[in-house]
Amino acid sequence: MIRRPSHCSSALAFAVVLFLFVPPGTWAEEVGLVKLDVKDVAKGYRAEALKLRSVVNDKGETIGRIDDFIFDRDGSQVFAVLAVGDFIGLDGHLIAVPFRSLKLDDSSGSIVLPGASRSALLKLPVFLYNR
């Protein structure tokens, strides 16, 4: 005969009571998975393929490069962290812009931030990683 510690039988009894007496609507709902068309997903952009690529404005002037991506905690937004200026720490810094602000031009292979200039981006708040 296998002897179980008494705390195991208490936990089992609690689980049975919970199952029998808690109305089904009060249980946490299951996470629903969404069926995706993997061919459509594959047409998207890999983060690694975009990282370190130059970003230009709509005039074709290089205004920075993609340094990283940040996803907000609830997953509703993605931000591109751009390195702007000459060198980080030397007349340059990191900024964050909503990823949806960037336009990825497949025909030219460029990443465009319309209406931006290097001087305007350098006036934005410096992005610091939360360590």
Q: Which residues contact 51 (CB under 8 A, 6 or more apart)?
A: 66, 67, 68, 69
CATH of residue 64's domain is: 2.30.30.240
Query: Residue 54: inside a domain, yes or no?
Result: yes
Give the chain's domain count.
Answer: 1
- C-alpha span between 82 and 101 (Å, rounded): 12
pTM: 0.69
Write the pLDDT tens digit of every residue in 11-24. Answer: 444 444 444 455 55
Asked whether residue 80 is assigned to any structural domain, the reply reads: yes
In a domain, 53, yes or no: yes
Residue type, 114: P
Q: Would 15 be classed as within a structural domain?
A: no
The domain in which residue 116 lies consists of 46-122
Residue 6 and residue 12: Cα distance in Å, rounded? Answer: 10
39 located within any domain:
no
**Per-residue model confidence as pLDDT tens digits over 13-55:** 444 444 445 555 555 556 668 888 889 888 888 999 999 899 9
